Chains A and B, each alone.
Chain A
Amino acid sequence: MIWEALFLGLGYNATLVTLGACILGIAGGFGGSFLFLRKRALVSDAVSHATLPGVGLAFVLMVGLGGDGRNLIGLLAGGAVTAAIGLLCVNWLSTRTRLAEDAAIGAVLSVFFGFGVVVLTYIQTMSSGQQAGLEGFLLGSTAGMLQSDALVLVFAAALTLGLVLILRRPLTLVAFDPDFALATGRNVNRIDLAMMGIVLAVTVVGLKIVGLILIVALLIIPPVTARFWTDRVDRLLLGAGVFGGVSGYVGAAISAAVPDMPTGPIIVLVSFALFLVSLLCAPGRGVVSSVVQHRQYQRRVHLRQGLLALAQGQPIYERLTQRLMEQRGLIRGDGVATQAGRAHAAKALLDEARWHVVRSDQTYAAAALHYDGLTEMNSVLTPDQIREIDARLPAPQVMLP
């Protein structure tokens, strides 16, 4: 079943939903990256909660006008309207009052969601049977979706993704360096507004698939995941798109294949699994790699200190240092230096003496910045420079036993 689902073998509707979730994930990853870089990730939380009253009111309105109230486009449009109002409220509260942005976000999300709940309980009393499907907007539900609904979703997701791709250059610039963008004469406010528009679009399209409580995850988790793998903005965007797309695709496929699996939570958990793997295994910023780097650094420090101790004829007491030096054949088991040990120790001492000259001479100020007690001199200075420094070293003295 799972394999069939992953290879789109579960029928036309399931295929549409899976593709829609995949496109939505890509758009969410891109859009969320801009939010993440702007350090405004949680604004999306307010936006998504603020869709609930709109969905409910649109239902009431459509029923009032004589429809059956379940038209997906109408419901999503309603959600978009109140989400936009919520967004404006967050902006207004955080810029025009003394409330900080997090308080504004919290106030808007709780109040709009509370009002949405009021509308939902009102709908429940309207007449039985009609509200079927509205709960699906809380946590996302794609099972039993109409074919027309699935088509709408794929189309809307593709449209959102197109919007992100068209706007990516100015958005990247502002997200990464708003001051520079302002200095080069761009309208940062308008670009921020466009960013929020994209977040809004992703949220509204994701309502039916992921649900309004969990859609935030598709905007936040993929960019955070991608951040572990790169320091470059364009690769961050690309990575976030890939992680989001994979989460949407795999999550929707699993939920289509296994009965009673809610779509939204599965998509979120898949994306968290990707996050966890990245947190642990990413090169450079991952936990495993940090531990390895730390260990390597520790070994280099201990070796260096051990060599300097040897060179100055001091005994080595530190266990790790002893072991490292023995492993490398620098000392014997009883702590006496080997031939190689003495050679390396002399070199370390010479390097240290050279560094002393470099750090006390202003002309080498740039090179002196590299000093950390570990860096070898010939990786920083040219042989000519080193020769010049050697000339200034005090003449070697005969060591008396």
Chain B
Amino acid sequence: MNGSEFVPLSLVPMLIGICVAIACALPGNFLLLRRQALIGDAISHVVLPGIVVAFLLTGLVASVPMLLGAAGAALVAVAAIEAIRRLGKIEPGAAMGVVFTTMFAGGVLLLEMSDTSSVHLDVEHALYGNLESLIWLDATGWSSLWDPEALAHLPVELPRMATALVAVVLFIAVFWRPLKISTFDEGFARTMGLRTGPLGLALVVVAAIAAVAAFDAVGSIIVIAMFICPPAAARLMTNRLETQIAWSVLFATLAAVIGYVLAGYGPLWLGAQDSVSAAGMIATVSGVLVAGVALMGPARN
């Protein structure tokens, strides 16, 4: 494979995939240790009604209203889960199940009842995304990376996703100590005067930002997988948080690269004509990684 083919067709989707994977895996580490692993699952379901409502209100498939709508829906969901848990004295898992299924159903219904067929907005797209289509038509080869003309026509998803990744990294770097302490010993963190409540909420919001930014490009399924699988595999490798985070970044990158390559070229090697879903394949590879580590990882018990 040469540069004139790889750079326009595969480089950008692969970079986006890597950004998504790392941006989701980083907060996923903390969510996993806090027993909130399924927050990512809930967020990625409730993002759909937010996006649909934003579209119906503005009539635009623009990124800013959609991001706002999705973030709003995520906050509504967190508030609703908390309200049901407190008002109804219902355990968190069940409260979460009530909220995210209902909001997803509402989003689907809105989609079906309104005329969104003219735009690229449907349930399958929301679930699978369309990573493969984010090609960089203006690139001609590796040299395009230094060509401002071509760089100006990069798919907007790449800078957007890179920004989200930087935001996630910054959040974790700035709040590293309080995050670490409150994750392992919330009581101790509180006696030290840390405000664990707002910190936990901030973590969920950061996770939501990563999920929402990723949603349009890659769909929800890969988001859920990246929130959970790389951190889970990393958890089985080590007892130290720092090492776990490093492993999770490595696993996330591996899943994104191997998954993308297998989706794009795997079927060709097997003699089939067309590629399969890259998002689905990345999720599948991350599962294979978890399975491998669960069978052989040094700290699996």
- Is A272 an interface residue, CB under 8 A from the partner? yes
CA distance A98 to B290 in the complex (A): 12
Interface bits A95-119 vs B (CB < 8 Å: 1, else 0): 0111110110111011111111110
- Is A361 an interface residue, CB under 8 A from the partner? no
A268-B102 contact, Cβ under 8 Å, with A109-B41, A139-B108, A279-B87:
yes
How many whole Å from B100's CB to the nearest CB in chain A? 9
Question: Across the interface, do A115 and B105 meet the contact criterion of CB distance under 8 Å?
Answer: no
Interface bits A209-237 vs B (CB < 8 Å: 1, else 0): 00001101100110110011000000000
| Residues of A close to B124: CB separation below 8 A | 135, 138
Question: Across the interface, do B228 and A103 meet the contact criterion of CB distance under 8 Å?
Answer: yes
| Residues of B close to A2: CB separation below 8 A | none
How many whole Å from A102's CB to the nearest CB in chain B? 5
CA distance A41 to B112 in the complex (A): 28
How many whole Å from A183's CB to the nearest CB in chain B? 24
- Is A152 an interface residue, CB under 8 A from the partner? no
CA distance A8 to B72 in the complex (A): 40
- Is B55 an interface residue, CB under 8 A from the partner? no
Among B38, B108, B112, B294, point to the contact of A102 (Cβ < 8 A): B38
Interface bits B261-278 vs A (CB < 8 Å: 1, else 0): 001000100001111110
Question: Across the interface, do B286 and A111 meet the contact criterion of CB distance under 8 Å?
Answer: yes
Question: Across the interface, do B112 and A261 meet the contact criterion of CB distance under 8 Å?
Answer: yes
- Is A45 an interface residue, CB under 8 A from the partner? yes
In chain B, what residue has the closest Cβ to A221? B98
| Residues in B102-160 with C-beta less than 8 Å from chain A | 102, 104-106, 108-109, 112-113, 123-124, 127-128
Question: Across the interface, do B221 and A214 meet the contact criterion of CB distance under 8 Å?
Answer: no
| Residues in A283-321 with C-beta less than 8 Å from chain B | 285, 287, 290
| Residues of B close to A105: CB separation below 8 A | 37-38
CA distance A269 to B103 in the complex (A): 9
- Is A39 an interface residue, CB under 8 A from the partner? yes
CA distance A102 to B96 in the complex (A): 12
CA distance A36 to B96 in the complex (A): 12
Question: Across the interface, do A217 and B290 meet the contact criterion of CB distance under 8 Å?
Answer: no
CA distance A112 to B294 in the complex (A): 16
How many whole Å from B24's CB to the nearest CB in chain A? 11
Question: Across the interface, do B279 and A117 meet the contact criterion of CB distance under 8 Å?
Answer: yes
- Is A239 an interface residue, CB under 8 A from the partner? no
Question: Across the interface, do B294 and A97 meet the contact criterion of CB distance under 8 Å?
Answer: yes
Question: Across the interface, do A125 and B274 meet the contact criterion of CB distance under 8 Å?
Answer: yes
Of A93, A106, A290, most buried by chain B (CB within 10 Å of CB) is A106
- Is A248 an interface residue, CB under 8 A from the partner? no
- Is B214 an interface residue, CB under 8 A from the partner? no
How many whole Å from B299's CB to the nearest CB in chain A? 7
How many whole Å from B114's CB to the nearest CB in chain A? 11
- Is B240 an interface residue, CB under 8 A from the partner? no
Question: Across the interface, do A220 and B108 meet the contact criterion of CB distance under 8 Å?
Answer: no
- Is B301 an interface residue, CB under 8 A from the partner? yes
In chain A, what residue has the closest Cβ to B32? A103
| Residues of B close to A217: CB separation below 8 A | 97-98, 101-102, 105
| Residues of B close to A112: CB separation below 8 A | 287
Q: Which residues of B contact A (CB under 8 A)?
A: 32, 35-38, 40-41, 45, 84, 87-91, 93-98, 101-102, 104-106, 108-109, 112-113, 123-124, 127-128, 221-222, 224-225, 227-229, 231-232, 235-236, 263, 267, 272-277, 279-284, 286-287, 290, 294, 299-301
Q: Which 4 A-B pairs have the closest CB atoms?
A: A114-B283, A111-B287, A117-B280, A110-B225
